[in-house]
Amino acid sequence: MSIHISAEPGAIAETVLLPGDPYRARWAAERFLDDARLVNETRGMLGYTGTWNGHPVTIHGSGMGMPSLSIYVNELIRDYGAQTLIRIGSCGAMQEHVGVRDIILAMTASTIGSPSQSIFRETTFAPSANWDLLLAAAKAAEGCGCPVHVGGVYSSDTFYDERPDLNDQMTRHGVLAVEMETAELYTLAARHGRRAMSVLTVSDHLLTHEALPAEDRERSFSQMVEIALKAAFPS
Ligand code: HPA
């Protein structure tokens, strides 16, 4: 038990997939894991543990934004010993050459501010993905038949952002997409010597204002889960 996770000791696998939405955790566990069982439902943040191809895996919601993710990832790492943490989520494209439905593997994550930021004082830490996971995900994504981009994302806790100039600077500097969690995930993994990566689907486009139709969301989400699992356990 930890403050926000009621799982028994040992009930969380070393490999954890982190969708923002707890109902996505349930959907992915039912669809991809064998013998999935509910291990946490405190505050409705569902977590399931089962196996994929014989490998123990937990799929646990992170909530939206870095403050929420920070709580779950801190406890998953410090109280439950999670070693490999892979976010699976959506993002908004910030480049013309990135399309809705494309997959983004987040190599780095810029941020205007994360829960960890204050500890770095005058320095700017560069949160980055684990290379082995990134490489394995890039290989796994070749089979998905959809465009895949590897590069930087922008993590912001403000979905309804009143500062479009910040997005403009990110676009100008080649950042592929905006989302709300990856910078803190990568920073926590670095601090604790764990492996982390984010696999993201482009659900909307900040420049063209196109959005992923509801009927395509399930397929896109499946692609991400498959890439994440194959990256965690390369054959
Ligand atoms: N902003 C932040 N997070 C997101 C977005 C967005 O436009 N789209 C999907 N996740």
Find all residues with CB under 8 Å of 142, minimum gap 6, and list them.
Answer: 148
Predicted confidence at residue 108, as pLDDT, reads: 98
Give percent above pLDDT 70 in the chain: 100
Domains in the chain: ranges and CATH: 15-232 (3.40.50.1580)
Mutate to test the pocket of ligand 1, among 180, 205, 216 (most ligand atoms within 8 A of CB): 180
**pLDDT on residue 81:** 98
- Residue 79 among the catalytic residues: no
Residue-level pLDDT at 219: 85
Task: Kindly name the residue from 132, 161, 204, 216 that is annotated as catalytic.
Answer: 204
Nearest CA residue ID for atom 6, ligand 1: 92
All residue ranges of the chain with pLDDT < 50 are none
The torsion defined by the Cα of 162, 164, 169 and 171, in degrees rounded to 10, comes to 130
The rounded Å distance from CA 206 to ligand 1 centre is: 9
Give pLDDT tens digits for 58-75. Answer: 999 999 999 999 999 999
So what's the pLDDT on residue 183?
A: 98
Q: Is the dihedral of CA 69, 73, 76, 82 positive or negative?
A: positive
Question: pLDDT for 166-193, tens place per residue?
Answer: 999 999 999 999 999 999 999 999 999 9
